[in-house]
Chain A
Amino acid sequence: MIGQDALAVAAAVRSGKVRAEHVVSQALAAIAARNPALNAFTLVLGEDALAAARALDQAVAAGRSVGPLAGAPFAVKNLFDIAGHATLAGARIRAAAAPAACDAALIRRLKRAGAILVGALNMDEFAYGFVTENAHYGTTRNPHDPSRIAGGSSGGSAAAVAAGLVPLSLGSDTNGSVRVPAALCGVYGLKPTAGRLPLEGMFPFVRTLDHAGLFARTAAELMLAYDACLVSDGRAEAVSPQIEALAARPLKVGVLGGWFAQGAASDVLAALETVAEALAARDRLALAGAEAARSAAFCMSAHEGGQLHRAELARQLDDFDPEVGDRLLAGALLPQAIHTAAGAYRERFRNEVAAVFDQVDLALAPVTPCSAPRIGQSTMLIDGREVSVRKNLGAYTQPLSFVGVPVLAAPVNRPGLAPIGVQLIAAPGREDLLFAAALRLERQGVVAAHAPGARAP
Protein backbone atom coordinates (compact mmCIF):
# COMPACT_ATOMS: atom_id res chain seq x y z
CA MET A 1 0.00 0.00 0.00
CA ILE A 2 2.84 2.38 0.79
CA GLY A 3 4.16 1.96 -2.72
CA GLN A 4 0.84 3.33 -3.93
CA ASP A 5 0.03 6.99 -3.97
CA ALA A 6 -1.92 9.08 -1.50
CA LEU A 7 -4.98 9.09 -3.75
CA ALA A 8 -5.11 5.29 -3.87
CA VAL A 9 -4.62 5.08 -0.12
CA ALA A 10 -7.38 7.61 0.51
CA ALA A 11 -9.81 5.87 -1.85
CA ALA A 12 -9.15 2.50 -0.20
CA VAL A 13 -9.46 3.89 3.32
CA ARG A 14 -12.63 5.86 2.56
CA SER A 15 -14.26 2.80 1.03
CA GLY A 16 -13.29 0.67 4.02
CA LYS A 17 -11.21 -1.72 1.89
CA VAL A 18 -8.08 -0.86 3.85
CA ARG A 19 -7.73 0.38 7.40
CA ALA A 20 -5.74 3.57 7.97
CA GLU A 21 -4.07 1.80 10.88
CA HIS A 22 -2.68 -0.78 8.45
CA VAL A 23 -1.39 1.93 6.11
CA VAL A 24 0.30 3.81 8.93
CA SER A 25 1.76 0.61 10.40
CA GLN A 26 3.31 -0.14 7.03
CA ALA A 27 4.73 3.36 6.77
CA LEU A 28 6.23 3.13 10.27
CA ALA A 29 7.74 -0.27 9.46
CA ALA A 30 9.27 1.10 6.25
CA ILE A 31 10.71 4.06 8.13
CA ALA A 32 12.16 1.77 10.82
CA ALA A 33 13.75 -0.44 8.19
CA ARG A 34 15.14 2.16 5.81
CA ASN A 35 15.62 5.41 7.66
CA PRO A 36 18.83 4.34 9.45
CA ALA A 37 20.60 4.28 6.08
CA LEU A 38 18.76 7.28 4.62
CA ASN A 39 18.66 9.60 7.66
CA ALA A 40 15.60 11.50 6.42
CA PHE A 41 13.62 11.42 9.68
CA THR A 42 14.65 13.16 12.89
CA LEU A 43 11.42 12.27 14.72
CA VAL A 44 8.99 9.40 14.21
CA LEU A 45 5.53 9.72 15.75
CA GLY A 46 4.69 6.04 16.13
CA GLU A 47 1.96 5.94 18.76
CA ASP A 48 0.45 9.33 17.91
CA ALA A 49 0.20 8.35 14.24
CA LEU A 50 -1.37 4.99 15.01
CA ALA A 51 -3.88 6.63 17.37
CA ALA A 52 -4.85 9.14 14.66
CA ALA A 53 -5.24 6.29 12.18
CA ARG A 54 -7.48 4.32 14.55
CA ALA A 55 -9.65 7.40 15.09
CA LEU A 56 -9.94 7.78 11.32
CA ASP A 57 -10.93 4.12 10.94
CA GLN A 58 -13.63 4.62 13.55
CA ALA A 59 -14.94 7.63 11.62
CA VAL A 60 -15.08 5.57 8.42
CA ALA A 61 -16.90 2.79 10.25
CA ALA A 62 -19.38 5.33 11.60
CA GLY A 63 -20.04 6.65 8.09
CA ARG A 64 -18.55 10.08 8.76
CA SER A 65 -16.75 12.13 6.09
CA VAL A 66 -12.99 11.67 6.40
CA GLY A 67 -11.46 13.95 3.77
CA PRO A 68 -9.66 13.60 0.44
CA LEU A 69 -6.35 12.46 1.97
CA ALA A 70 -7.87 9.94 4.39
CA GLY A 71 -5.16 7.74 5.85
CA ALA A 72 -2.32 9.10 3.70
CA PRO A 73 0.87 9.33 5.79
CA PHE A 74 2.84 12.56 5.61
CA ALA A 75 5.88 14.07 7.30
CA VAL A 76 7.22 17.60 7.68
CA LYS A 77 10.56 19.41 7.62
CA ASN A 78 11.56 19.85 11.24
CA LEU A 79 11.00 23.59 11.17
CA PHE A 80 7.21 23.03 11.30
CA ASP A 81 5.72 23.13 14.80
CA ILE A 82 4.42 19.77 15.96
CA ALA A 83 2.39 19.99 19.16
CA GLY A 84 4.31 18.65 22.13
CA HIS A 85 7.72 18.62 20.43
CA ALA A 86 10.58 21.11 20.19
CA THR A 87 10.84 22.68 16.73
CA LEU A 88 14.47 21.96 15.82
CA ALA A 89 14.87 23.87 12.56
CA GLY A 90 17.92 21.64 12.11
CA ALA A 91 19.72 23.26 15.04
CA ARG A 92 21.19 21.71 18.15
CA ILE A 93 20.57 24.94 20.04
CA ARG A 94 16.84 24.42 19.43
CA ALA A 95 16.76 20.92 20.96
CA ALA A 96 15.97 22.30 24.42
CA ALA A 97 13.34 24.76 23.13
CA ALA A 98 9.90 24.60 24.72
CA PRO A 99 7.60 22.12 22.99
CA ALA A 100 5.25 23.67 20.43
CA ALA A 101 1.81 24.40 21.86
CA CYS A 102 0.02 23.38 18.67
CA ASP A 103 0.65 22.10 15.18
CA ALA A 104 1.65 24.48 12.37
CA ALA A 105 -1.26 25.73 10.26
CA LEU A 106 -0.40 23.52 7.27
CA ILE A 107 -0.15 20.41 9.43
CA ARG A 108 -3.61 21.22 10.79
CA ARG A 109 -4.96 21.59 7.25
CA LEU A 110 -3.51 18.29 6.03
CA LYS A 111 -4.81 16.52 9.14
CA ARG A 112 -8.23 18.03 8.52
CA ALA A 113 -8.09 16.46 5.05
CA GLY A 114 -7.50 13.08 6.69
CA ALA A 115 -3.72 12.79 6.29
CA ILE A 116 -1.75 11.23 9.15
CA LEU A 117 1.43 12.90 10.44
CA VAL A 118 4.14 10.27 10.98
CA GLY A 119 7.23 12.37 11.70
CA ALA A 120 9.65 15.25 11.21
CA LEU A 121 12.44 15.45 8.65
CA ASN A 122 16.06 16.50 8.45
CA MET A 123 17.21 19.82 6.96
CA ASP A 124 20.13 22.21 6.76
CA GLU A 125 20.51 24.11 10.01
CA PHE A 126 18.08 27.04 10.04
CA ALA A 127 17.34 26.24 6.37
CA TYR A 128 20.58 27.94 5.29
CA GLY A 129 22.02 25.66 2.59
CA PHE A 130 21.20 23.36 -0.31
CA VAL A 131 22.80 20.14 0.90
CA THR A 132 21.24 18.70 4.14
CA GLU A 133 24.68 17.81 5.42
CA ASN A 134 23.81 18.73 8.98
CA ALA A 135 26.64 18.71 11.55
CA HIS A 136 24.20 17.86 14.38
CA TYR A 137 21.65 15.51 12.84
CA GLY A 138 23.73 13.95 10.08
CA THR A 139 23.57 13.90 6.30
CA THR A 140 20.41 12.86 4.49
CA ARG A 141 21.38 10.51 1.68
CA ASN A 142 19.90 10.56 -1.79
CA PRO A 143 17.63 7.48 -2.18
CA HIS A 144 18.79 7.11 -5.81
CA ASP A 145 22.48 7.03 -4.85
CA PRO A 146 23.40 7.01 -1.16
CA SER A 147 26.86 8.40 -1.94
CA ARG A 148 25.19 11.63 -3.06
CA ILE A 149 23.35 14.43 -1.28
CA ALA A 150 19.57 14.76 -1.24
CA GLY A 151 19.85 18.51 -1.70
CA GLY A 152 18.40 21.03 0.71
CA SER A 153 17.44 22.63 2.72
CA SER A 154 14.31 20.41 2.75
CA GLY A 155 16.44 17.35 2.00
CA GLY A 156 14.67 15.00 4.40
CA SER A 157 11.30 15.97 2.90
CA ALA A 158 12.42 15.11 -0.63
CA ALA A 159 14.28 11.94 0.34
CA ALA A 160 11.40 10.52 2.40
CA VAL A 161 9.03 10.91 -0.55
CA ALA A 162 11.55 9.67 -3.13
CA ALA A 163 12.26 6.57 -1.04
CA GLY A 164 8.54 5.80 -0.78
CA LEU A 165 8.45 6.16 3.00
CA VAL A 166 5.59 8.67 2.77
CA PRO A 167 3.60 9.81 -0.28
CA LEU A 168 3.54 13.47 0.83
CA SER A 169 5.72 15.86 2.77
CA LEU A 170 5.98 19.54 3.64
CA GLY A 171 9.06 21.72 3.28
CA SER A 172 9.99 25.36 3.02
CA ASP A 173 11.53 27.30 0.16
CA THR A 174 13.27 30.63 0.72
CA ASN A 175 15.74 30.49 -2.15
CA GLY A 176 15.05 27.06 -3.67
CA SER A 177 14.86 24.73 -0.68
CA VAL A 178 11.87 22.79 -2.02
CA ARG A 179 12.84 22.83 -5.70
CA VAL A 180 16.51 21.87 -5.33
CA PRO A 181 15.99 18.69 -3.26
CA ALA A 182 12.92 17.76 -5.32
CA ALA A 183 15.08 17.89 -8.46
CA LEU A 184 18.03 16.00 -6.98
CA CYS A 185 15.78 13.27 -5.51
CA GLY A 186 13.58 12.97 -8.60
CA VAL A 187 10.21 13.98 -7.14
CA TYR A 188 7.74 16.82 -7.65
CA GLY A 189 8.10 19.93 -5.53
CA LEU A 190 5.80 22.94 -5.39
CA LYS A 191 6.73 26.41 -4.23
CA PRO A 192 3.42 28.27 -4.50
CA THR A 193 2.97 32.01 -4.95
CA ALA A 194 4.40 34.00 -2.03
CA GLY A 195 1.79 34.33 0.70
CA ARG A 196 -0.58 31.76 -0.72
CA LEU A 197 0.10 29.21 2.02
CA PRO A 198 0.31 30.30 5.67
CA LEU A 199 3.68 30.36 7.43
CA GLU A 200 2.11 30.18 10.89
CA GLY A 201 3.98 27.68 13.03
CA MET A 202 7.05 27.53 10.79
CA PHE A 203 10.45 28.56 12.16
CA PRO A 204 11.56 31.48 9.96
CA PHE A 205 14.71 31.89 7.92
CA VAL A 206 14.09 35.06 5.86
CA ARG A 207 10.55 36.29 6.45
CA THR A 208 10.74 38.49 3.36
CA LEU A 209 11.34 35.43 1.17
CA ASP A 210 10.02 32.38 3.05
CA HIS A 211 7.45 30.11 1.37
CA ALA A 212 5.87 26.84 2.46
CA GLY A 213 5.96 24.03 -0.09
CA LEU A 214 5.08 20.42 -0.79
CA PHE A 215 6.57 17.22 -2.22
CA ALA A 216 4.92 14.21 -3.92
CA ARG A 217 5.70 11.47 -6.43
CA THR A 218 2.94 12.41 -8.90
CA ALA A 219 1.47 15.68 -10.10
CA ALA A 220 -2.03 14.57 -9.06
CA GLU A 221 -0.95 13.89 -5.46
CA LEU A 222 0.86 17.20 -5.30
CA MET A 223 -2.25 18.99 -6.56
CA LEU A 224 -4.57 17.27 -4.10
CA ALA A 225 -2.26 18.07 -1.20
CA TYR A 226 -1.94 21.67 -2.37
CA ASP A 227 -5.71 22.03 -2.54
CA ALA A 228 -5.97 20.59 0.97
CA CYS A 229 -3.51 23.24 2.16
CA LEU A 230 -5.56 26.10 0.71
CA VAL A 231 -8.23 27.62 2.84
CA SER A 232 -11.49 28.82 1.36
CA ASP A 233 -11.04 32.50 1.99
CA GLY A 234 -12.12 33.68 -1.45
CA ARG A 235 -8.54 34.57 -2.48
CA ALA A 236 -7.19 31.17 -3.47
CA GLU A 237 -9.23 28.77 -5.52
CA ALA A 238 -8.73 25.03 -5.41
CA VAL A 239 -6.93 23.86 -8.55
CA SER A 240 -8.26 20.34 -9.05
CA PRO A 241 -11.92 21.05 -10.05
CA GLN A 242 -10.99 22.79 -13.33
CA ILE A 243 -7.68 21.12 -14.06
CA GLU A 244 -8.77 18.69 -16.78
CA ALA A 245 -10.20 21.47 -18.95
CA LEU A 246 -7.05 23.48 -18.44
CA ALA A 247 -4.75 20.53 -19.17
CA ALA A 248 -6.43 20.14 -22.58
CA ARG A 249 -5.98 23.82 -23.47
CA PRO A 250 -2.91 24.89 -25.47
CA LEU A 251 -0.41 26.78 -23.36
CA LYS A 252 2.05 29.36 -24.62
CA VAL A 253 5.41 28.37 -23.19
CA GLY A 254 8.88 29.87 -23.40
CA VAL A 255 12.33 28.98 -22.06
CA LEU A 256 14.21 31.44 -19.89
CA GLY A 257 17.52 32.40 -21.43
CA GLY A 258 20.45 34.47 -20.18
CA TRP A 259 21.34 33.60 -16.60
CA PHE A 260 19.23 30.43 -16.70
CA ALA A 261 21.03 29.16 -19.81
CA GLN A 262 24.55 29.65 -18.42
CA GLY A 263 26.64 27.10 -16.62
CA ALA A 264 24.34 24.10 -16.58
CA ALA A 265 25.73 20.64 -17.31
CA SER A 266 24.92 19.12 -20.69
CA ASP A 267 22.52 16.51 -19.24
CA VAL A 268 20.59 19.29 -17.47
CA LEU A 269 20.27 21.26 -20.72
CA ALA A 270 19.21 18.12 -22.60
CA ALA A 271 16.54 17.36 -19.99
CA LEU A 272 15.25 20.92 -20.24
CA GLU A 273 15.13 20.67 -24.02
CA THR A 274 13.06 17.48 -23.79
CA VAL A 275 10.45 19.27 -21.69
CA ALA A 276 10.57 22.35 -23.93
CA GLU A 277 9.91 20.26 -27.03
CA ALA A 278 7.00 18.46 -25.40
CA LEU A 279 5.39 21.83 -24.59
CA ALA A 280 6.28 23.31 -27.99
CA ALA A 281 8.35 25.99 -26.27
CA ARG A 282 10.59 27.46 -28.92
CA ASP A 283 11.00 31.07 -27.79
CA ARG A 284 13.86 32.11 -25.54
CA LEU A 285 12.69 34.62 -22.99
CA ALA A 286 14.94 37.43 -21.80
CA LEU A 287 15.16 38.11 -18.09
CA ALA A 288 18.19 40.35 -18.02
CA GLY A 289 18.00 41.16 -14.33
CA ALA A 290 18.09 37.56 -13.11
CA GLU A 291 21.74 37.51 -12.06
CA ALA A 292 21.35 40.70 -10.06
CA ALA A 293 18.12 39.35 -8.58
CA ARG A 294 19.99 36.28 -7.45
CA SER A 295 22.62 38.49 -5.84
CA ALA A 296 19.95 40.60 -4.17
CA ALA A 297 18.26 37.48 -2.77
CA PHE A 298 21.65 36.22 -1.58
CA CYS A 299 22.35 39.48 0.28
CA MET A 300 18.82 39.79 1.66
CA SER A 301 18.96 36.23 3.00
CA ALA A 302 22.37 36.76 4.59
CA HIS A 303 21.34 39.99 6.26
CA GLU A 304 17.94 38.87 7.54
CA GLY A 305 19.19 35.44 8.56
CA GLY A 306 22.10 37.01 10.41
CA GLN A 307 19.87 39.52 12.18
CA LEU A 308 17.38 36.79 13.18
CA HIS A 309 20.08 34.80 14.97
CA ARG A 310 22.17 37.72 16.18
CA ALA A 311 21.73 37.03 19.88
CA GLU A 312 22.71 33.36 19.56
CA LEU A 313 25.63 34.21 17.28
CA ALA A 314 26.98 36.56 19.95
CA ARG A 315 26.43 34.07 22.75
CA GLN A 316 27.02 30.57 21.37
CA LEU A 317 28.56 30.62 17.91
CA ASP A 318 30.35 27.33 18.62
CA ASP A 319 27.01 25.56 19.04
CA PHE A 320 26.00 26.27 15.42
CA ASP A 321 26.80 23.96 12.53
CA PRO A 322 30.22 25.41 11.62
CA GLU A 323 29.22 25.85 7.95
CA VAL A 324 26.10 27.76 8.94
CA GLY A 325 27.27 29.76 11.96
CA ASP A 326 30.11 31.51 10.13
CA ARG A 327 27.80 32.19 7.20
CA LEU A 328 25.11 33.71 9.40
CA LEU A 329 27.69 35.77 11.23
CA ALA A 330 29.03 37.16 7.95
CA GLY A 331 25.46 38.07 7.03
CA ALA A 332 24.95 39.84 10.34
CA LEU A 333 27.88 42.10 9.46
CA LEU A 334 26.21 43.43 6.30
CA PRO A 335 25.00 47.03 6.54
CA GLN A 336 21.24 47.54 6.59
CA ALA A 337 21.62 49.70 3.47
CA ILE A 338 22.44 46.59 1.42
CA HIS A 339 19.20 44.95 2.49
CA THR A 340 17.37 48.15 1.56
CA ALA A 341 19.01 48.19 -1.87
CA ALA A 342 18.09 44.54 -2.40
CA GLY A 343 14.48 45.34 -1.52
CA ALA A 344 14.41 48.22 -3.99
CA TYR A 345 15.83 46.01 -6.72
CA ARG A 346 13.17 43.44 -5.99
CA GLU A 347 10.49 45.85 -7.16
CA ARG A 348 12.32 46.48 -10.43
CA PHE A 349 12.82 42.79 -11.06
CA ARG A 350 9.19 42.03 -10.23
CA ASN A 351 8.18 44.30 -13.11
CA GLU A 352 10.61 42.54 -15.44
CA VAL A 353 9.18 39.14 -14.52
CA ALA A 354 5.62 40.41 -14.98
CA ALA A 355 6.56 41.42 -18.55
CA VAL A 356 7.59 37.80 -19.25
CA PHE A 357 4.12 36.60 -18.33
CA ASP A 358 2.60 39.17 -20.68
CA GLN A 359 4.22 37.05 -23.41
CA VAL A 360 3.66 33.46 -22.20
CA ASP A 361 1.53 31.37 -19.86
CA LEU A 362 4.47 29.39 -18.63
CA ALA A 363 8.26 29.69 -18.54
CA LEU A 364 10.81 26.89 -18.18
CA ALA A 365 14.23 26.82 -16.56
CA PRO A 366 16.58 24.23 -15.05
CA VAL A 367 16.30 23.69 -11.30
CA THR A 368 19.97 23.03 -10.59
CA PRO A 369 23.17 23.38 -12.64
CA CYS A 370 23.90 19.66 -12.21
CA SER A 371 22.55 16.41 -10.77
CA ALA A 372 23.24 15.54 -7.11
CA PRO A 373 26.85 16.16 -6.04
CA ARG A 374 28.62 13.63 -3.84
CA ILE A 375 28.32 13.85 -0.07
CA GLY A 376 31.19 15.94 1.24
CA GLN A 377 31.82 17.56 -2.13
CA SER A 378 32.34 21.21 -1.24
CA THR A 379 32.78 22.71 -4.71
CA MET A 380 31.50 22.21 -8.24
CA LEU A 381 32.37 23.70 -11.62
CA ILE A 382 30.05 26.24 -13.23
CA ASP A 383 31.29 27.71 -16.49
CA GLY A 384 34.78 26.50 -15.62
CA ARG A 385 34.76 28.28 -12.24
CA GLU A 386 35.01 26.32 -9.00
CA VAL A 387 32.15 27.46 -6.75
CA SER A 388 30.63 26.34 -3.45
CA VAL A 389 28.01 23.58 -3.73
CA ARG A 390 26.27 24.76 -0.57
CA LYS A 391 25.84 28.29 -1.89
CA ASN A 392 25.25 27.71 -5.61
CA LEU A 393 22.91 24.78 -6.20
CA GLY A 394 20.12 27.36 -6.06
CA ALA A 395 21.56 29.69 -8.66
CA TYR A 396 18.53 29.19 -10.94
CA THR A 397 15.91 29.03 -8.19
CA GLN A 398 16.87 32.13 -6.21
CA PRO A 399 15.81 34.80 -8.72
CA LEU A 400 12.31 33.30 -8.93
CA SER A 401 11.49 32.95 -5.23
CA PHE A 402 12.90 36.48 -4.84
CA VAL A 403 9.75 37.79 -6.54
CA GLY A 404 7.37 35.12 -5.27
CA VAL A 405 6.17 33.59 -8.54
CA PRO A 406 4.80 30.02 -8.27
CA VAL A 407 7.15 27.29 -9.45
CA LEU A 408 6.69 23.55 -9.79
CA ALA A 409 9.84 21.45 -9.98
CA ALA A 410 9.09 18.41 -12.12
CA PRO A 411 11.33 15.32 -12.40
CA VAL A 412 12.39 14.65 -15.99
CA ASN A 413 11.74 11.03 -16.97
CA ARG A 414 15.23 9.49 -16.91
CA PRO A 415 14.88 5.98 -15.44
CA GLY A 416 18.19 4.58 -14.33
CA LEU A 417 19.92 7.96 -14.53
CA ALA A 418 20.61 10.59 -11.89
CA PRO A 419 17.46 12.67 -11.30
CA ILE A 420 17.22 16.11 -12.92
CA GLY A 421 14.37 18.58 -12.50
CA VAL A 422 12.85 21.36 -14.56
CA GLN A 423 11.18 24.47 -13.17
CA LEU A 424 7.70 25.21 -14.53
CA ILE A 425 7.10 28.88 -13.73
CA ALA A 426 3.89 30.92 -13.91
CA ALA A 427 2.61 34.35 -13.02
CA PRO A 428 1.56 34.94 -9.40
CA GLY A 429 -1.61 33.05 -8.52
CA ARG A 430 -1.45 30.73 -11.55
CA GLU A 431 -0.63 27.44 -9.84
CA ASP A 432 -3.39 25.99 -12.00
CA LEU A 433 -1.21 26.43 -15.10
CA LEU A 434 1.69 24.67 -13.40
CA PHE A 435 -0.43 21.65 -12.58
CA ALA A 436 -2.01 21.61 -16.04
CA ALA A 437 1.43 21.48 -17.64
CA ALA A 438 2.78 18.93 -15.15
CA LEU A 439 -0.17 16.60 -15.71
CA ARG A 440 0.21 16.89 -19.46
CA LEU A 441 3.94 16.19 -19.32
CA GLU A 442 3.36 13.26 -16.99
CA ARG A 443 0.77 11.74 -19.32
CA GLN A 444 3.18 12.18 -22.23
CA GLY A 445 5.84 10.32 -20.25
CA VAL A 446 8.15 13.33 -20.30
CA VAL A 447 8.27 13.77 -16.53
CA ALA A 448 8.01 11.00 -13.94
CA ALA A 449 9.24 10.10 -10.48
CA HIS A 450 10.89 6.69 -10.35
CA ALA A 451 11.43 4.37 -7.42
CA PRO A 452 15.10 4.17 -6.42
CA GLY A 453 16.79 1.41 -8.36
CA ALA A 454 14.63 1.85 -11.48
CA ARG A 455 16.55 0.85 -14.58
CA ALA A 456 16.57 2.33 -18.04
CA PRO A 457 14.16 0.50 -20.39
Chain B
Amino acid sequence: MGGFAQTRAAALGLAFAPAHLNGVVENLLALQAHVRNLAAQGPASTLDDAS
Protein backbone atom coordinates (compact mmCIF):
# COMPACT_ATOMS: atom_id res chain seq x y z
CA MET B 1 0.00 0.00 0.00
CA GLY B 2 2.96 2.29 0.65
CA GLY B 3 4.11 1.98 -2.95
CA PHE B 4 0.61 2.68 -4.21
CA ALA B 5 0.32 5.75 -1.99
CA GLN B 6 3.60 7.27 -3.10
CA THR B 7 3.11 6.53 -6.80
CA ARG B 8 -0.46 7.77 -6.88
CA ALA B 9 0.38 10.88 -4.85
CA ALA B 10 3.26 11.77 -7.16
CA ALA B 11 1.04 11.32 -10.21
CA LEU B 12 -1.55 13.69 -8.71
CA GLY B 13 0.97 16.32 -7.64
CA LEU B 14 0.51 15.37 -3.98
CA ALA B 15 3.94 13.90 -3.20
CA PHE B 16 4.46 13.87 0.56
CA ALA B 17 7.38 13.58 2.97
CA PRO B 18 8.27 10.13 4.38
CA ALA B 19 7.01 11.20 7.83
CA HIS B 20 3.46 11.04 6.48
CA LEU B 21 3.74 7.60 4.90
CA ASN B 22 2.48 5.60 7.86
CA GLY B 23 -0.48 7.92 8.41
CA VAL B 24 -1.49 7.94 4.77
CA VAL B 25 -1.17 4.16 4.49
CA GLU B 26 -3.18 3.59 7.67
CA ASN B 27 -5.97 5.73 6.25
CA LEU B 28 -5.79 4.06 2.86
CA LEU B 29 -6.15 0.66 4.51
CA ALA B 30 -9.28 1.86 6.31
CA LEU B 31 -10.61 3.20 3.02
CA GLN B 32 -9.78 -0.03 1.24
CA ALA B 33 -12.05 -1.98 3.58
CA HIS B 34 -14.90 0.42 2.84
CA VAL B 35 -14.21 0.34 -0.91
CA ARG B 36 -14.51 -3.46 -0.76
CA ASN B 37 -17.81 -3.19 1.11
CA LEU B 38 -19.10 -0.86 -1.56
CA ALA B 39 -17.78 -3.00 -4.40
CA ALA B 40 -19.65 -5.99 -2.98
CA GLN B 41 -22.91 -4.17 -3.72
CA GLY B 42 -22.32 -4.05 -7.44
CA PRO B 43 -20.04 -2.58 -10.07
CA ALA B 44 -17.55 -0.31 -8.37
CA SER B 45 -14.00 0.76 -8.81
CA THR B 46 -11.20 -0.44 -6.56
CA LEU B 47 -8.04 1.22 -5.35
CA ASP B 48 -6.13 -0.98 -7.79
CA ASP B 49 -7.91 0.69 -10.70
CA ALA B 50 -6.10 3.86 -9.81
CA SER B 51 -2.60 2.43 -9.87
Using CB atoms and an 8 Å cutoff, list the residues of chain A in contact with chain B.
Answer: 289, 291-292, 294-296, 298-299, 302, 310, 313-314, 317-318, 322-323, 325-327, 329-335, 337-338, 340-342, 344-345, 348, 388, 391
Contacts and interface: CB of A to CB of B under 8 A. Distances in A.
B14 A326 contact: no
B9 A333 contact: yes
Interface string B9-51: 1001110110010011111101101110111111111110110
19 contacts: A289-B41, A291-B37, A295-B34, A295-B35, A295-B37, A298-B30, A318-B17, A323-B23, A329-B16, A329-B20, A330-B31, A331-B27, A332-B12, A333-B14, A335-B47, A335-B49, A335-B50, A337-B44, A341-B45
A314 B15 CA distance: 7
A309 to B, nearest CB: 11
B41 to A, nearest CB: 5
A331 B46 CA distance: 13
Contacts of A302: 27, 31
Given A313-B14, A335-B50, A326 B20 contact: yes
Nearest to A302: B31
B2 to A, nearest CB: 12
A341 B37 contact: no
Contacts of A337: 44-45, 49
Nearest to B13: A314
A57 B23 CA distance: 53
B16 to A, nearest CB: 6
B39 to A, nearest CB: 7
Contacts of B42: 341, 344-345
A interface secondary structure, majority:
helix
A362 B41 CA distance: 27
Given A302-B31, A338-B45, A341-B45, A326 B37 contact: no
A345 B30 contact: no
A387 to B, nearest CB: 9
Interface residues of B, number: 33
Interface of B: 5, 8-9, 12-14, 16-17, 20, 23-28, 30-31, 33-35, 37-47, 49-50
Contact of B28 (A323, A333, A348): A333
A295 B20 contact: no
Nearest to B8: A333
Nearest to A340: B45
Given A314-B13, A332-B14, 4 more contacts: A292-B38, A334-B31, A342-B38, A345-B38
Contacts of A292: 37-38, 40-41
A298 B31 contact: yes
A373 B33 CA distance: 24
A347 to B, nearest CB: 12
A315 to B, nearest CB: 10
Given A292-B40, A292-B41, A313-B14, A326 B24 contact: yes
Contacts of B43: 341
Across the A-B interface, give the 3 residue pairs with the lowest CB-CB distance, nearest first.
Answer: A326-B23, A337-B45, A330-B27
Nearest to A345: B41
B30 A334 contact: no
Nearest to B26: A326
Nearest to B27: A330
A8 B38 CA distance: 49
B28 A317 contact: no
Contacts of B50: 333-335
A388 B14 contact: no
Nearest to A392: B30
A317 B44 contact: no
B40 A329 contact: no
Contacts of A344: 42
A69 to B, nearest CB: 41
B38 A329 contact: no
B37 A331 contact: no
Contacts of B49: 335, 337
Contacts of A348: 41
